């Protein structure tokens, strides 16, 4: 697209910029700050053109795109401009839009996951975790590691060996419980090792290990036992419950609070599974070409968040599965937007004001000032979009049926033979 910015707008912006810079620039043949405007226009013509593009183009581009029946996916990106004295300022730009598509069926999907029941065993396991978290620990004098010791140990990759995610981290391992970091039985080789010495050990990786590069193979690594620990667990009684935050008077009160927390967590997990299934089904049932630049920018932002959270930017953050899931999410979000349009789903004035109030509180601003900043930055528009999608998601869930687990593959089918529904092209 090309936009034309009227000359009177360009001239005023140019004059304001030059006046602001006039006192601080030096032009050959003139004292500092004394060069006339017409000389500055000519001497800094290229710089002025760039400044005018940065200051004026976004507004005029946005207006033109907003007047079109298109949904912006990425951009606009300025590709060229032409500045001629006394004529409209022409700016060329490229932008990416979401493709149009026919809205398919979105009701009666089998998507609702049942909340997993919280058993007494789960409550007891969480209680035991709390007990271990509040245990007192002391370091024992150096001696060879025994079968049921609790040890602090670090595993490192051997020469030419695999570099597993937990390598290089100092771990606490309870050998009496046969804890296996990364699902690999390295700890079975620790008894008999002396603290402080680095020792090469090996273990047989299970055939069903998720990483196919090491499944069924013998993995070599180096292990250093730093110390042997003695763990003193507190008694599970009313005094233990009172010592914890939450004003629990008895152990039964504590168990009730744990059960309530686990039930809340189970509901959130079921909801997350349901929403993921909804998005997966909506994306699969609508053939939408994902805008490439939009997806690239989205993945870049995701990678930055992951690297900041993990604290290891040198490690690759995105996997092919992550990329595929993001592409699926882009498709599903477009379908949810269309559902919101078709169903006349919108946010109430109070719901929008709630967004503003929460953001104002977090930024320590008045609601009026917060709303201004949110509208200027686009934050409010993004929040409203997410709110409409959430309502559309709820509509699909409310009209859906309980999720059914897929049936297992027919064991009578010859090994290696794909099912009739398999499509080799889907691998790509």
pLDDT by 10s per residue, the chain, length 428: 999 999 999 889 888 888 777 777 777 777 676 677 777 777 777 888 888 888 899 889 988 888 888 899 999 999 999 988 889 999 999 999 999 999 999 988 888 778 889 999 999 999 999 988 888 889 999 899 988 888 999 988 887 777 787 888 898 888 887 667 766 777 888 888 889 888 888 888 888 877 787 788 888 888 899 999 988 889 988 988 888 877 788 999 999 999 999 999 999 999 999 999 999 999 999 989 999 999 999 999 998 888 777 555 455 568 888 899 999 999 999 999 999 999 999 999 999 999 999 999 999 999 999 999 999 998 999 999 999 999 999 999 998 877 665 555 554 444 444 443 334 344 33
Alpha-carbon distance of 150 to 304, in angstroms, equals 37
**143 and 89 in one domain?**
no
Largest pairwise CA distance in the chain = 93
**274 and 225 in one domain?**
no
The answer as to whether 16 is a domain residue is yes
pLDDT at 366: 95
The answer as to whether 262 is a domain residue is no
Alpha-carbon distance of 53 to 91, in angstroms, equals 7
pLDDT at 406: 57
Q: Is 335 helix (H, G, I), strand (E, B) or coil?
A: helix
228 contact partners, CB below 8 Å, separation of at least 6: 139, 140, 142, 143, 145, 149, 150, 151, 195
* CA-based nearest residue to 184, from 160, 159, 158, 165: 165
**81 and 193 in one domain?**
no
CB burial readout 120-155, b (16+ within 10 A) else e = eebbeebbeebeeeeeeeeeeeeeebeeebbbbbbb
**288 and 367 in one domain?**
yes
**212 and 338 in one domain?**
no
The answer as to whether 390 is a domain residue is yes
**276 and 383 in one domain?**
yes
The answer as to whether 397 is a domain residue is yes
Q: What is the CATH number of the domain that holds 38?
A: 3.30.70.1050
Asked whether the CA dihedral 369, 375, 380, 384 is positive or negative, the reply is: positive
Percent of the chain with pLDDT over 70: 90
Q: Which helix (H) or strand (E) holds 269?
A: helix 251-284
**272 and 228 in one domain?**
no
**289 and 222 in one domain?**
no
The answer as to whether 122 is a domain residue is no
pLDDT at 405: 59
The answer as to whether 65 is a domain residue is yes
- From 232, 258, 276, the end of a domain falls on 232
- Domain span at 361: 268-402
The answer as to whether 254 is a domain residue is no
pLDDT at 393: 95
Q: What is the CATH number of the domain that holds 289?
A: 1.10.3120.10
Alpha-carbon distance of 16 to 379, in angstroms, equals 30
**86 and 202 in one domain?**
no
Q: What is the CATH number of the domain that holds 190?
A: 3.10.50.40
**301 and 358 in one domain?**
yes
The answer as to whether 291 is a domain residue is yes
Count Cβ atoms below 10 Å from residue 232 Cβ, excluding itself.
8
Number of folded domains that form the chain: 3
Q: What is the full DSSP assignment across 48-79? A: HHHHHHHHHHHHHHHHHHHTSS--EEEEEEEE
Query: Which residue shows structure tokens 């935050």?
Result: 245
Residue pair 418/409 in contact (Cβ under 8 Å)? The answer is no
pLDDT at 254: 92
**226 and 275 in one domain?**
no
- From 69, 97, 125, the end of a domain falls on 97
**152 and 66 in one domain?**
no
């Amino acid at each position: 697209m090309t936009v034309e910015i009227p000359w009177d707008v360009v001239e005023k912006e140019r004059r304001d910029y030059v006046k602001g810079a006039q006192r601080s620039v030096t032009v050959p043949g003139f004292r500092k700050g004394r060069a006339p405007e017409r000389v500055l226009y000519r001497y800094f013509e290229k710089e002025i053109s760039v400044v005018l593009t940065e200051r004026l183009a976004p507004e005029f581009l946005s207006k033109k795109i907003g007047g079109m029946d298109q949904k912006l996916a990425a951009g606009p990106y300025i590709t060229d401009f032409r500045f001629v004295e006394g004529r409209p300022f022409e700016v060329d730009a490229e932008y990416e839009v979401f493709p149009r598509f026919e809205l398919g069926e979105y009701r009666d999907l089998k998507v609702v996951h049942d909340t997993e029941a919280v058993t007494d065993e789960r409550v007891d396991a969480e209680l035991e975790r709390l007990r271990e978290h509040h245990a007192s620990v002391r370091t024992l004098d150096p001696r060879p590691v025994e079968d049921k010791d609790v040890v602090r140990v670090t595993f490192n990759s051997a020469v030419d060996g695999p570099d597993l995610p937990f390598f290089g981290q100092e771990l606490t391992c309870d050998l009496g419980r046969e804890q296996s970091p990364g699902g690999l039985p390295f700890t079975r080789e620790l008894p008999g090792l002396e603290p402080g010495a680095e020792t090469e050990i090996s273990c047989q990786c299970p055939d069903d290990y998720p990483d196919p590069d090491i499944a069924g193979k013998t993995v070599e690594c180096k292990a250093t036992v730093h110390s042997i620990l003695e763990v003193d667990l507190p008694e599970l009684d009313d005094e233990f419950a009172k010592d914890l935050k939450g004003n629990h008077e008895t152990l039964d009160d504590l168990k009730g609070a744990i059960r309530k927390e686990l039930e809340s967590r189970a509901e959130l997990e079921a909801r997350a599974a349901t929403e993921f299934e909804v998005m997966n089904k909506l994306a699969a049932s609508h053939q939408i070409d994902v805008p490439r630049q939009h997806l690239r920018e989205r993945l870049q932002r995701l990678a930055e968040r992951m690297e900041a959270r993990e604290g290891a930017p040198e490690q690759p953050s995105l996997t092919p599965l992550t990329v595929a899931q993001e592409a699926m999410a882009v498709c599903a979000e477009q379908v949810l937007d269309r559902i919101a349009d078709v169903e006349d789903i919108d946010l109430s004035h109070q719901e929008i004001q709630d967004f503003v109030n929460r953001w104002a509180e977090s930024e320590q601003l008045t609601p009026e000032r917060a709303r201004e900043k949110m509208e200027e930055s686009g934050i409010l528009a993004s929040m409203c979009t997410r709110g409409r999608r959430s309502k559309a998601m709820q509509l699909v869930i409310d009209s859906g049926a309980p999720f059914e687990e897929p049936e297992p593959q027919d064991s009578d089918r010859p090994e290696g033979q794909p099912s009739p529904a398999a499509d080799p092209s889907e691998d790509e």
